[in-house]
Structure formats: structure tokens, C-alpha cells
Amino acid sequence: MASGHSIPSIEERFEFTSGAKRSLLIGGGVGLALVLLGAYLAANGGGGHEVAAHGAEHAAAAGHAAAEHGAAAAAHGADAHGAAAEGGHHAKSWVARIWANLWVNGVYFTGMSVIGMFFLSYNYLAQAGWSAVFKRVPEALPAFLPVTGVVLIATFLLGGHDLFHWTHEGLYEIGGPEYDKIIAGKRGYLNTPFFLIRLVAYFAIWYYLWRVIRNLSLQEDEIGGTEFYEKSIRIGTAFLVVFGVTSSTSAWDFVMSIDTHWFSTMFGWYTLASWHVAGLAVITLTIVMLRERGYLRAVNTSHLRDLGKFVFAFSIFWTYVWFAQFLLIYYANLPEETIYFIERFRGHGGFFKAPFFITLFMNFFFPFLVLMTRDAKGTHSILKVACWSVIVGHWFDFYTNIMPGTVGASASLGPLEWGFFLIFLCAFAYSIANQLTKANLIPRNHPMLEESLHHDIA
């Protein structure tokens, strides 16, 4: 094992072997087979759970919350009615379930991809030296953004009407049977042309800034000096300013706008926290797997412990934001706010209750307990288990945020869902591995490399 006192060669080139490519392609093929099986079952009535009782359950849940408020609920009657009406369109076809799965995975893997750039940027801004030796790994993640960008844009264009209630024109016709005053009031922001402009802008800006910082990194590798490093600091700072805004607005667009009546001022932070810790888990897991295959020998136990601390700390941070949002809504007990959690606890036959609590276990309790000790954070096997828990757990997080408002009672956790997840996972891994082949694994001319090579925390 490499240590801070024995520095191996920094000349390392990753080889994306034919065997590794074949394994990922087979994994993607298995995912596709599961999707086809799931689609067949869903089309023939074998997918999803019973939807007939959904409307009554949802209305009863909203009515129960309103009753608890008595006269106060009457002031919010239109909101509660709108939320209940929104539930009326939840029982969707198996095709809508496909669109919803594409959206869940597109949003989730977009987040993990862009977090690679986020990690690079705040390390550049802080002029951190410890992470220089493995910076190629987070640097590789955003290469997947064009894939998820195309998926999300295509899904919105083809299936947006099934996923987003606010795309229904009848909601804006004053005096019409579907007119909704609340949604109509949001039309200046939630309208199809502006939504598409924002959607394209997110991916264009994020990807462009990553390409700039990636090219500077590759030039630095060939030429050396500090010029490219200083430019990278400026680009990273610009990205942080942009991402500070777009991380929240994209969370509103991708997830919160699905439940159009509902909103939370903490939702941007909540989504960023979820993306961030999942991205950190991907970075850590990739580094561990590379080390197990003989790469990144200069990464030592201190690096691993610090990465483990990041995953540990931001699992706690995600839980803090989750609980703060939940507690405020629970304490205020306003029908137009509580309906979001009532739908996940009691709506749709209680289907989403299990995924809701699985999310808490996999994203907080499990990583908190297994990564608590100092030695655990530097142990490959424990890091791998904790990272996989976080990666799968935060997929459940986005699943429980998106599925109730898109397909509702037609949702399931069957071959269709796991097949799509496997396809995206294998494609993401393929993209990362492909990027790692394009440069020396250790940035040989990084100004902070010497500090990183000697990173040693007793």
C-alpha cells in the first residue's frame, strides 16, 4: 500500500480493457432485457399496483389533513382541492411509467455527473492540495452530461404531457372545467418554451465550463507551469457562482414542478445535498476500484480517510436538510404543504411508504454507522459497501420524489425500474472509464501534486 513516505511512480495510464467493456455492455444488455420484460408485464396488466382506489385515498388523505385544521383549512381550500385534483391524473399508462423512469434516472445521473465539476471547482477555489493526485476521477464524471441532457430533453418533448401536470393547456383557460388559479399564476415561469430554454441552458453551461477546465487540465499536463492552474481557479469560481443558482432552479424544474401546487424553499438545498453525496460516493468508489486494480498507487490511506469523511459528513448534511424540511412542514401542518408527505405515507395504497423509509436507512443510518470509526474510512471493503448504499439509496430518494407525482398508483419497483437503473449505471461507468483513458491518471504537472503525494494525516 502506498503511504505518505513511499511515493510510487506518477506515470499511470488507465487501460479500459475489452473484458471491462464487455462486462458493462452485458450489464446494459441485462438492463435492456429487464426493461423489455417490465414493459411487457406493465402493458399486460402485470406492472404497477392497483389504481382504482387511488382517487378516494388521495381525497381522503387531503380531507383528513384539512379536517385537522377546521376553519383554517377553508382558507386553503382551493390549494387542497388543486392538490387532490392533481392526484386525479396520477393513474397513468405503462408508457407514462417508461417516461417517468427515464426522467428519474436522467435527473439522478445528471446530478452525479455535474458533481464532478462541483468537486473540482470548490477544490480549486480553496486551492486544496490533498485531492490533486486523484483529480482525474471527478474530472471524468461530467463527460456523461450530454447523454443525460439528450435523455431529459427527449423525454420532456415526447412524454412531458404525461409527467408534468402544468403542461395541460386546460389549466389556463379561465372559466374552463380544468382551470386552476394557482397553476395559472405560475405560468410565467412554468411554460413549455421557457422550460425547454432552461433545460438546454443548464446542460450547455455546465458542460461548456467543464470542457474549459478539462482542456486547461490537459494542457497543464503537457506544458506545466502555474498559468493553467490559475485559469482553472477562475473557471471553477465562475462555475460555483453559476451552479449556486442553477442547482436550485434545476431542482425546481426537474423535480419540484412535478407536484405543481407544492413548493419548499429548502428544496434546492435538499436536491443539491442528495446529488453531492451521491457524486462523492461515485468518486470514492471509483478510486477504490482503481486502487484494487493496481492504479492510483500514490493515493494513500489518508486520502481514502478524507474521502470517507466527505461521504460520512455529507450523508449527515443531507439528513439534516431532509429533517429540517420535514419538521417545518410537520409542525406548521398546513394542508397545501403536508399533502406532499401524506401522498408518500398514505396515498397510492401506501406503496411509497417502504421506499420512503428505505431512503432514510440507506442514506443516513447505514453509512453513519459503518463509516463512524477512523479505520473504517480507510478500508476498501467498508468504503465500497457504504458507497453502494449511498448510490442506491439516493436513487430511491429521487424515486420517491418523482414517481408519486408522475405515475402515482401505477408505480412499481419491478424489472422496468431496475432495468433502467442498470442501463444508466453501466453507461455512466462506461463514460467514466472512457474518459480516464484520455490522460495520465495522475496530473503530473499540477502545482499541488507534491503536497498531495505527501498527504499524511496521523
Neighbour-count burial for 262-287, b at 16+ CB within 10 Å, e otherwise: bebebbbbbbbbbbbbbbbbbbbbbb
Beta strands in 322-411 (DSSP E): none
- Look over the chain and give the mean of its residue pLDDT values, rounded to a whole number: 89
Helix (H) or strand (E) holding 130, with range, is none
Tell me how far apart the alpha carbons of residues 320 and 327 are, in angstroms, rounded to a whole number: 10
Closest by alpha carbon to 102, among 149, 144, 147, 151? 151
Please answer whether residues 145 and 110 qualify as being in contact, where contact means their C-beta atoms are separated by less than 8 angstroms: yes
- Do 80 and 95 touch, CB atoms closer than 8 A? no
Phi-psi region of 294 (alpha: psi -120 to 50; beta: other; left: phi over 0): left
* Amino acid code (one letter) for 249: T
Q: How far is CA 194 from CA 180, 188, 200, 406, in A?
A: 20, 8, 10, 21
* Dihedral sign computed on CA atoms, order 138, 140, 143, 149: negative
pLDDT of residue 347: 82
Give the count of alpha carbons within 13 A of 106, CB side only.
23
Closest CA to 367 of 341, 348, 394, 349: 394
Q: Sign of torsion, CA 71 73 79 80?
A: negative
- Amino acid 91: pLDDT: 43
Name the stretches of the chain with pLDDT < 50. 1-4, 50-91
Distance from C-alpha of 318 to C-alpha of 91, rounded to nearest angstrom: 31
**Residue in the structure block whose three cell numbers are 465539476:** 117
Alpha-carbon distance values, 74 to 180, 182, 328, 336, 456 (Å): 17, 16, 21, 11, 62
> How many whole angstroms separate alpha carbon 154 and alpha carbon 145?
14
Q: What residues does 3 pair with on adjacent strands?
A: 6
pLDDT (0 to 100) of residue 92: 64
Task: Convert the pLDDT of each residue in 233-288 to its tens digit.
Answer: 999 999 999 999 999 999 999 999 999 999 899 999 999 999 999 999 999 999 99
The identity of residue 259, as a single letter, is: D
Residue labelled with grid coordinates 423535480: 255
pLDDT of residue 348: 84
The pLDDT of residue 349:
81
> Rounded to whole angstroms, how far apart are CA atoms 206 and 148?
12
Tell me, what's the pLDDT at 77? Answer: 37
Is residue 302 within 8 A of residue 455, CB to CB? The reply is: yes
pLDDT given for residue 6 in this prediction: 60
Task: Parse the chain into domains and list their residue ranges.
Answer: 22-43+93-440
Determine the distance from the C-alpha atom of residue 5 to the mean position of all C-alpha atoms in its chain, rounded to a whole number: 38
Integer Rg of the chain from CA? 23
Q: Give the integer Cα–Cα distance in Å for 405 and 107.
A: 15
Q: CB 197: neighbour CB atoms within 10 A?
A: 11
Identify the pLDDT of residue 59. 35
Question: What does the angle CA 112 – CA 241 – CA 142 come to, to the nearest 5 degrees?
Answer: 25
Say what the pLDDT of residue 286 is: 98
Residues 6+ apart with CB under 8 A from 37: 415, 416, 419
Q: What is the DSSP string of 368-425?
A: HHHT-STTGGG-HHHHHHHHHHHHHHHHHHHHHHHHHHHTGGG---SHHHHHHHHHHH
Cell output for 5:
513516505
